[in-house]
């Protein structure tokens, strides 16, 4: 990776660490962002996509503004972060997540990769620590999976998201997956 490529991802990681540390957030927030970045690198994504993946939660979680991300990392990265950031003005969880999925659907391949990788990272950590994920979030992940399987290109990460969702549901009190309501 050229120095400038390494620089953008290192700067993004440092920005995330500083933002969460300043907010007094536990290290798992940082670890999640780092895992998303690592998975994007493993997928062969560009340094700008990896940087946006590292930064994907800092605006949504309120630890940085869109303007700060834009000033520090430029329009390309800030635009990707904006696409994968929920609209806080939408109060209803299902409506907010539906709007997010719509934005990602139209946001292009890089936004879709960040979006699916974020979900995979959350599910991997939940599975690793046997932490259940609440039903509304699982329903959002399932709807995301359906959305991502209907877009024009085939993302290899779709299979892992499907497997992680299956594993998460199967581990919850050994509840049969067929009993889950996705409405």
- The tens-digit pLDDT sequence of the chain (183 residues) is 444 777 999 999 999 999 888 877 767 788 899 999 999 999 999 999 999 999 999 998 878 999 999 999 999 999 999 999 999 999 999 999 999 999 999 999 999 999 999 999 999 988 877 788 899 999 999 999 999 998 867 888 888 898 888 888 776 654 434 334 433
Range 151-182 burial, b when 16+ CB lie within 10 A, else e: eeeebebbebbeebbeebbeeeeeeeeeeeee
CA dist., res. 84 & res. 137, Å (int): 15
pLDDT at 175: 46
The pLDDT assigned to 108 comes to: 95
Q: Give the CA-trace dihedral at 31, 36, 39, 43, to 10 degrees.
A: -160
Q: What tokens appear for 1 in the block?
A: 């990776």
| Rounded Cα–Cα distance for residues 96 and 54 (Å) | 22
Query: Which of 114-139 are b and which e, b meaning 16 or more Cβ less than 10 Å from the residue's Cβ?
Result: bbbbbbbbbbbebeeeeeebeeebbb
Q: What is the separation, in whole angstroms, between the first and last Cα of the chain?
A: 44
Query: How far is 96 from 122, CA to CA, in rounded Å?
Result: 19
Three-state DSSP state, 60: coil
- pLDDT for 181 equals 40
Check if the beta carbon of residue 80 is closer than 8 Å to that of residue 114.
yes
- Structural class in CATH, domain 3-179: mainly alpha
pLDDT confidence of residue 176: 39
**In the prediction, which pLDDT does 172 show?**
61
Indicate the pTM of the whole model: 0.87
Q: Which of 26, 48, 24 is nearest to 37 (CA)?
A: 48
């Amino acid at each position: 990776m050229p120095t400038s490529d390494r620089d953008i991802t290192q700067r993004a990681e440092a920005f995330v660490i500083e933002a969460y540390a300043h907010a007094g957030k536990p290290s798992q927030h940082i670890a999640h962002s780092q895992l998303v970045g690592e998975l994007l690198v493993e997928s062969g994504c560009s340094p700008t996509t990896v940087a946006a993946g590292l930064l994907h939660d800092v605006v949504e979680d309120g630890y940085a503004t869109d303007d700060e991300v834009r000033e520090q990392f430029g329009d390309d990265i800030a635009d990707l972060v904006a696409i994968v950031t929920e609209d806080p003005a939408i109060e209803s969880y299902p409506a907010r997540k539906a709007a997010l999925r719509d934005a990602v659907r139209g946001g292009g391949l890089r936004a879709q990769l960040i979006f699916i990788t974020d979900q995979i990272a959350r599910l991997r950590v939940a599975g690793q620590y046997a932490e259940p994920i609440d039903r509304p979030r699982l329903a959002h992940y399932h709807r995301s999976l359906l959305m991502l399987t209907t877009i024009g290109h085939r993302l290899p990460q779709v299979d892992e998201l499907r497997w992680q969702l299956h594993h998460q549901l199967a581990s919850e009190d050994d509840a049969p997956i067929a009993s889950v309501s996705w409405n």
